[in-house]
């Protein structure tokens, strides 16, 4: 966190100065470790063992926050008798279909709950997830408040993690018993009615073939300890860019629409509006409002053209017809199935996995539009990429027409950032963009305007939706820049008849009388001239009045959990919101994440729906059962509980489940241009992990091009331990060649004791660290670490595995030209001996 979020890390430092303990779990000793009280260096890819062992520690020592888990989680819920755990099936849950390589999830449902198969398991990712209510209904369940029933979640969880012991942590993660004890004790002792502990993570957890389940393990731990919905608690996803939270809320993802509404899938349930609504609108819980948000969004898209008769224009929305995730369509591109591509604010030629494959795929396009502040590698792949050097691409033969558009930076345009904390902060243009540089808003608006002009003259049915699209943003200035504030107004929403701003998402209706571009942001612009994202008047400990935190300016989500079931704070020290019996309202230091006048003892009447079906002591209002899910009955593709699987490439066997080394539902996408190593593989004996440095930003387009940043980390380097350097004959400061089955690159050797060999199961695992900022353009250049990474897909969100793969290292520079090609493509050689191995 100190490495990549130094500004946010100031609060961690402040907490440390007030007595908080910092635990840092990372294969490398980083700037964060240097500030921490405990550093637990683990073998990359063994996170679920480590976290699962803390869960086990909590359960074995009965450290769970009993009253919290009884009332606020599904720990007491009884599960089906026919559910089988990975402990019973040696690494698989019940329901595995080995032919289709996917799970049938019926046995994961609560006992007595209806269970069917989610229909969109194929093409859609996990972002537009099954929220419950489709394949099952979590509101239907039985509980055992004593937590003794062997089929209750608590007991199933206890058995599931019983082999995740400190000893196993030593064997699989390489963390000593002492260090593990220190981590578990420190973390658990900081939780309880008057204490909380937080977990911060970033893509060090996400970018694994089981990334979602790593984060799930943390969620289980935090629910057990009562650390969700309370001040100082939570799981904080540290986002990697200024507005990456914003770009999932109002998504650049293929499978969701604004506000986490699923993108319709091309199948029976996705084709008719009624079926789409029925599928996603839950009977109980907040998603019962699904139709209101969907109709209001369609009204924002299509305006007056969206009517009840034409299902609000639902038919005009595109459908998901396959895996349109970045990695999915890039493989399609490599196979020549795509004509053109827009690349904005991204540099996949350097920043995406198997970037060699990604660059070569670009050459299969007819046209490529790149918008950036500089000419990035993606725009010049045809001219100066390593593929040109290797003779794989010949500039005069590349048919791709590249259009490079200069982009305005954030200081050169108005706009809105949504940060890690869901805080919307509006920013104003400080200077005019230079020359022809324009904002994304300008580009998209004017592109849309021109396309609509063309479509108006073209009566083909395919243009009906484009013709119906509202595209009436007012523009200003010489360049006709669309007003960012007007767009934010549309996002906030208005009443359709008179365009009067709505006060928030509770005002939205399913009858077309309201228009709203993104329901979760509704309330950011509640009245003319009142742009709350622009406010800079913080008050109180949570900074209300500075920006706007969605939803409804709540600074901490699910904060009903900060009070006991009877509505009073768990403790004075950790009070946040509470029930005021006098005024009969929820009140407190934050905006209550609960219906304000719903008393703590409210019990839903028989047949109640929506929010009315959520009792007064159930904080997790989005779920049909109103509680936090230790057990996930529906919505995940690789199991209701997290289980340790090895990375897709690993020097180790899976000690817990020898028969199922890797996540069975993860997609390898293995092919000739995306090959894998064996596990273990004598050619690639070391673990490789990639990461970012404070001094650079992602693929380097915004930092390698700036002299004051480029000089701080001017060369691509490789971090290795003195032990590995000696073993491989690498000189500190000299060159080192790093290879994987995907490619061969070179870097300077930074030999440091901050990299420690890990001792696991009688073997020494050496880990190699590569920052991935370099490429072939900019003031400082270097090979791209991502040339070594495989394209793979985590089952739920389809992310690649950059944090744990295998490699080899050898002293000296990499081969050049065709020789490199031979090494990279034909026969992945062992760079130590120079001998080619049999291609597997």
Partner 1 sequence: MTTTAFLTDSTLCIGCKACEVACKEWNGVAADGFEWTGLSYDNSGALGHSTWRHVAFVENAPVEGFGGNAGEVLSWSFLSDVCKHCANAGCLEACPTGAIVRTEFGGVFIQPDVCNGCAYCVVTCPFGVVQRNPDQGKAFKCTFCYDRQKENLKPACATACPTESIKFGEIGELHEVANRRIEQLKSRGIDDAQIYDPQETSVGGTHAFFILRGDPKSYNLPPKPEIPTVHLRRGWTSAGIAAAALVTGTLLAFLGGNGDES
Contact between 373 and partner 1 by CB under 8 A: the answer reads: no
- Reported residue count of the chain is 840
Contact between 753 and partner 1 by CB under 8 A: the answer reads: yes
User: How many other C-beta atoms lie within 10 A of the C-beta of residue 792?
Assistant: 28
Chain center to CA of 263: 18
CA distances from 565 to 154, 601, 618, 812 (A): 20, 8, 8, 65
Contact between 36 and partner 1 by CB under 8 A: the answer reads: yes
Contact between 446 and partner 1 by CB under 8 A: the answer reads: no
Contact between 711 and partner 1 by CB under 8 A: the answer reads: yes
Residues 197 and 225: beta-carbon distance below 8 Å: yes
Residues 772 and 692: beta-carbon distance below 8 Å: yes
Within positions 152 to 181, which residues make up the interface with partner 1, using CB under 8 A? 179
Smallest separation (angstroms) from partner 1 to the CB of 695:
6
User: How many other C-beta atoms lie within 10 A of the C-beta of residue 714?
Assistant: 17
User: How many other C-beta atoms lie within 10 A of the C-beta of residue 648?
Assistant: 26
Contact between 748 and partner 1 by CB under 8 A: the answer reads: yes
Contact between 326 and partner 1 by CB under 8 A: the answer reads: no
CA distances from 788 to 207, 674, 737, 769, 801 (A): 15, 10, 12, 12, 11
User: How many other C-beta atoms lie within 10 A of the C-beta of residue 597?
Assistant: 10
Residues 6 or more apart whose Cβ sits within 8 Å of residue 322: 123, 328
Closest CA to 377 of 147, 698, 646: 698
Smallest separation (angstroms) from partner 1 to the CB of 46:
18
Contact between 35 and partner 1 by CB under 8 A: the answer reads: yes
Only segment of 7-15, 122-130, 335-343, 416-424 that touches partner 1 (CB under 8 A): 7-15
Smallest separation (angstroms) from partner 1 to the CB of 780:
5
Smallest separation (angstroms) from partner 1 to the CB of 6:
4
Only segment of 16-24, 261-269, 343-351, 457-465 that touches partner 1 (CB under 8 A): 16-24
Contact between 236 and partner 1 by CB under 8 A: the answer reads: no
Contact between 478 and partner 1 by CB under 8 A: the answer reads: no
Residues 586 and 578: beta-carbon distance below 8 Å: yes
Contact between 708 and partner 1 by CB under 8 A: the answer reads: yes
| Interatomic CA distance for residues 379 and 364, integer angstroms | 14
Contact between 18 and partner 1 by CB under 8 A: the answer reads: no
Q: Which of 24, 598, 644, 798 binds partner 1 (CB under 8 A)?
A: 24
Only segment of 73-81, 386-394, 431-439, 742-750 that touches partner 1 (CB under 8 A): 742-750
Torsion of CA 628, 630, 632, 638, to 10 degrees: 140
Residues 296 and 493: beta-carbon distance below 8 Å: yes
User: How many other C-beta atoms lie within 10 A of the C-beta of residue 464?
Assistant: 16
Contact between 715 and partner 1 by CB under 8 A: the answer reads: yes
Nearer of residues 151 and 759 to partner 1, judged by Cβ? 759
| Interatomic CA distance for residues 578 and 564, integer angstroms | 8
Smallest separation (angstroms) from partner 1 to the CB of 182:
8
Contact between 39 and partner 1 by CB under 8 A: the answer reads: yes
Contact between 38 and partner 1 by CB under 8 A: the answer reads: yes
Smallest separation (angstroms) from partner 1 to the CB of 711:
4
Nearer of residues 2 and 305 to partner 1, judged by Cβ? 2
Within positions 177 to 216, which residues make up the interface with partner 1, using CB under 8 A? 179
Contact between 609 and partner 1 by CB under 8 A: the answer reads: no
| Interatomic CA distance for residues 394 and 382, integer angstroms | 7
Residue where the block lists tokens 């996002």: 491
Contact between 13 and partner 1 by CB under 8 A: the answer reads: yes
Angle between helix axes 177-189 and 47-60 (nearest 10 degrees) is: 60
Q: Which of 699, 709, 799, 809 binds partner 1 (CB under 8 A)?
A: 709
Residue where the block lists tokens 């002792």: 189
Contact between 710 and partner 1 by CB under 8 A: the answer reads: yes
Smallest separation (angstroms) from partner 1 to the CB of 186:
11
Residue where the block lists tokens 């992945």: 828
Contact between 144 and partner 1 by CB under 8 A: the answer reads: no
Only segment of 35-43, 143-151, 476-484, 540-548 that touches partner 1 (CB under 8 A): 35-43
Contact between 93 and partner 1 by CB under 8 A: the answer reads: no
Contact between 758 and partner 1 by CB under 8 A: the answer reads: no
Contact between 832 and partner 1 by CB under 8 A: the answer reads: no
Contact between 505 and partner 1 by CB under 8 A: the answer reads: no
Smallest separation (angstroms) from partner 1 to the CB of 801:
26
Contact between 693 and partner 1 by CB under 8 A: the answer reads: yes
- The phi, psi pair for 320, rounded to 5°, reads -75, 120
Residues 261 and 280: beta-carbon distance below 8 Å: yes
Task: Cite the DSSP H helix spans in 352-479.
Answer: 355-362, 381-384, 386-389, 440-456, 464-468
Q: Which of 733, 761, 816, 819 binds partner 1 (CB under 8 A)?
A: 733
Contact between 754 and partner 1 by CB under 8 A: the answer reads: yes
Only segment of 431-439, 558-566, 620-628, 693-701 that touches partner 1 (CB under 8 A): 693-701
b/e sequence 276-307, b meaning 16+ C-beta within 10 Å: bbebbbbbbbbbbbbbbbbbbbbbbbbbebbe
Contact between 107 and partner 1 by CB under 8 A: the answer reads: no
| Interatomic CA distance for residues 260 and 266, integer angstroms | 18
User: How many other C-beta atoms lie within 10 A of the C-beta of residue 476?
Assistant: 11
| Interatomic CA distance for residues 454 and 349, integer angstroms | 33
Nearer of residues 39 and 96 to partner 1, judged by Cβ? 39
Only segment of 28-36, 155-163, 433-441, 608-616 that touches partner 1 (CB under 8 A): 28-36
Contact between 750 and partner 1 by CB under 8 A: the answer reads: yes
Only segment of 432-440, 586-594, 690-698, 789-797 that touches partner 1 (CB under 8 A): 690-698
In the complex, the residues that contact partner 1 under the rule CB under 8 A are 2, 6-7, 9-10, 13, 17, 22-24, 29, 31, 33-41, 179, 693-695, 707-715, 717, 732-733, 748-750, 752-754, 756, 779-780
């Amino acid at each position: 966190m100190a490495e990549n979020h130094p500004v946010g890390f100031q609060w961690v430092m402040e907490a440390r100065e007030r007595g908080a303990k910092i635990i840092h779990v990372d294969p490398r000793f980083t700037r964060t470790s240097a500030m921490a009280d405990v550093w637990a260096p683990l073998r990359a890819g063994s996170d679920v063992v480590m976290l699962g062992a803390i869960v086990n520690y909590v359960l074995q020592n009965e450290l769970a926050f009993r009253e919290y888990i009884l009332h606020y989680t599904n720990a007491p819920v009884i599960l089906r008798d026919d559910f089988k755990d990975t402990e019973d099936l040696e690494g698989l849950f019940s329901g595995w279909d080995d032919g289709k390589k996917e799970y049938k999830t019926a046995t994961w449902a609560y006992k007595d709950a209806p269970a069917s198969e989610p229909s969109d398991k194929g093409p859609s990712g996990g972002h537009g997830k099954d929220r419950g209510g489709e394949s099952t209904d979590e509101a239907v369940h039985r509980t055992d408040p004593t937590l003794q029933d062997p089929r209750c979640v608590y007991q199933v969880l206890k058995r599931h993690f019983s082999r995740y012991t400190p000893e196993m942590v030593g064997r699989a993660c390489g963390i000593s018993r002492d260090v593990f004890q220190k981590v578990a004790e420190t973390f658990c002792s900081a939780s309880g009615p008057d204490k909380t502990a937080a977990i911060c993570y970033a893509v060090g957890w996400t970018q694994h073939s089981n990334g979602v389940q790593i984060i799930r393990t943390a969620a289980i731990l935090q629910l057990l300890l009562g650390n969700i919905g309370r001040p100082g608690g939570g799981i904080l996803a540290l986002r990697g860019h200024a507005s990456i939270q914003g770009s999932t809320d109002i998504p650049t993802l293929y499978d969701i629409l604004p506000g986490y509404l699923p993108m319709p899938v091309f199948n029976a349930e996705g084709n008719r509006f009624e079926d789409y609504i029925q599928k996603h609108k839950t009977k109980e819980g907040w998603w019962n409002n699904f139709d209101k948000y969907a109709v209001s969004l369609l009204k924002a898209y299509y305006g007056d053209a969206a009517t009840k008769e034409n299902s609000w224009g639902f038919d005009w929305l595109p459908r998901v017809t396959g895996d349109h995730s970045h990695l999915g369509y890039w493989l399609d591109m490599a196979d020549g199935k795509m004509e053109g591509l827009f690349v904005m604010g991204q540099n996949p030629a350097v920043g995406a996995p198997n970037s060699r494959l990604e660059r070569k795929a670009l050459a299969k396009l007819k046209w490529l539009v790149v918008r950036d502040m500089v000419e990035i590698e993606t725009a010049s792949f045809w001219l100066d990429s390593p593929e040109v050097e290797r003779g794989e691409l010949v500039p005069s033969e590349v048919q791709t027409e590249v259009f490079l558009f200069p982009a305005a930076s954030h200081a050169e345009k108005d706009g809105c950032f949504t940060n890690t904390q869901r805080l919307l902060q509006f920013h104003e243009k400080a200077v005019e963009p230079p020359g022809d540089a324009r904002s994304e808003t300008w580009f998209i608006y004017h592109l849309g305007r021109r396309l609509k002009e063309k479509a108006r003259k073209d009566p083909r049915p395919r243009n009906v939706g484009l013709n119906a699209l509202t595209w009436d943003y007012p523009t200003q200035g010489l360049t006709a820049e669309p007003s960012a504030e007007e767009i934010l107004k549309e996002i906030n929403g208005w009443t359709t008849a008179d365009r009067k701003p709505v006060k928030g998402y509770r005002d939205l209706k399913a009858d077309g009388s309201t228009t709203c571009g993104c329901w979760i942001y509704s309330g950011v612009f509640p009245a003319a001239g009142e742009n709350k994202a622009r406010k800079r008047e913080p008050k109180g400990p949570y900074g209300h009045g500075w920006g706007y935190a969605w939803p409804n300016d709540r600074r901490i989500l699910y904060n009903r959990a900060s009070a006991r079931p009877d509505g009073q704070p768990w403790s004075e020290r950790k009070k946040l919101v509470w029930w005021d019996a006098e005024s009969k309202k929820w009140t407190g230091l934050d905006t209550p994440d609960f219906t304000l006048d719903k008393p703590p003892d409210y019990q839903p009447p028989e047949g109640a729906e929506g929010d009315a079906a959520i009792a007064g002591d159930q904080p997790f209002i989005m779920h049909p059962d109103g509680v936090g899910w230790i057990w996930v009955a529906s919505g995940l593709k690789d199991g209701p509980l997290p289980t340790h699987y090895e990375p897709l490439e690993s020097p180790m066997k899976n000690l817990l489940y020898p028969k199922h080394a890797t996540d069975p539902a993860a997609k390898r996408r293995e092919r000739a241009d995306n090959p894998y190593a064996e596990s273990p593989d004598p050619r690639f004996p070391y673990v490789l992990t990639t990461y970012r440095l404070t001094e650079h930003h992602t693929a380097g387009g915004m930092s390698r091009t700036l002299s004051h940043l480029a000089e701080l980390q001017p060369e691509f380097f490789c971090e290795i331990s003195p032990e590995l350097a000696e073993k491989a004959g690498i000189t500190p400061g000299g060159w080192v060649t790093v290879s994987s089955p995907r490619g061969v690159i070179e870097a300077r050797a930074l030999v440091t004791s901050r990299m420690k060999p890990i001792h696991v199961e009688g073997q020494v695992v050496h880990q190699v660290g590569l920052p991935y900022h370099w490429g072939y353009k900019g003031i400082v250049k270097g090979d791209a670490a991502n040339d070594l990474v495989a394209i793979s897909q985590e089952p739920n969100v389809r992310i690649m595995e950059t944090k744990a793969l295998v490699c080899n290292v050898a002293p000296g520079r990499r081969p050049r030209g065709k020789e490199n090609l031979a090494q990279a493509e034909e026969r992945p050689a062992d760079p130590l001996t120079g001998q080619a191995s049999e291609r597997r």
